[in-house]
Amino acid sequence: MLAGDAPNVRRARRLRQTMSLPEVLLWQALEQRPGGVKFRRQQAAGPYVLDFYCHEARLAIEVDGAAHGTARRFDRDAARDSYFTERGIRTLRFPASLVLDDVEAVAATIVLEAQRGTPLRPFGPPPLAGED
């Protein structure tokens, strides 16, 4: 199980109360345990808080708003993703605009990935040579 330090646990609790609209819409789809898959929202994990997490699949889901398009934020997101990859946790990132446009399709993609248990890169840079 992922564990966060005490300040991150408190931060996760606060974030559950102030989720963005795309996060709320996605949570409404995921909290119903689609396909029998259980998700947690705003999960404290080490020095981070994940938007959503499926423990059984070791899958993190991040909803990225406009701020994630900057070079500085891209570097921080890459470091964060690397942190989780080193711990055997895969990360799926979805633009907030896509969640707003078609939350059902995003939720279905997430559930399929959680059930399949293989890496999926629906967005972001293509894999590097040698990566699947």
What are the pLDDT digits (tens) for 3-41? 656 677 776 777 777 789 999 999 999 999 999 999 999
* 52: CATH: 3.40.960.10
- CB-count burial class (<10 Å; 0-12, 13-18, 19+) for 88: exposed
Q: Is residue 85 part of a domain?
A: yes
- The whole-angstrom separation of Cα 66 and Cα 4 is 26
The two tokens of residue 49 are 């808080």
Note the pLDDT tens digit of each residue in 73-94: 778 888 889 999 999 999 999 9
Is beta strand 59-64 parallel, antiparallel or unpaired with respect to 90-95?
A: parallel
Q: What is the mean pLDDT of residues 95-115?
A: 95
Domain count along the chain: 1
Q: Is residue 11 part of a domain?
A: yes
pTM of the prediction?
Answer: 0.75
Q: Is residue 1 part of a domain?
A: no
Q: Is residue 99 part of a domain?
A: yes
Q: Is residue 73 part of a domain?
A: yes
Structural domain of 64: 6-116
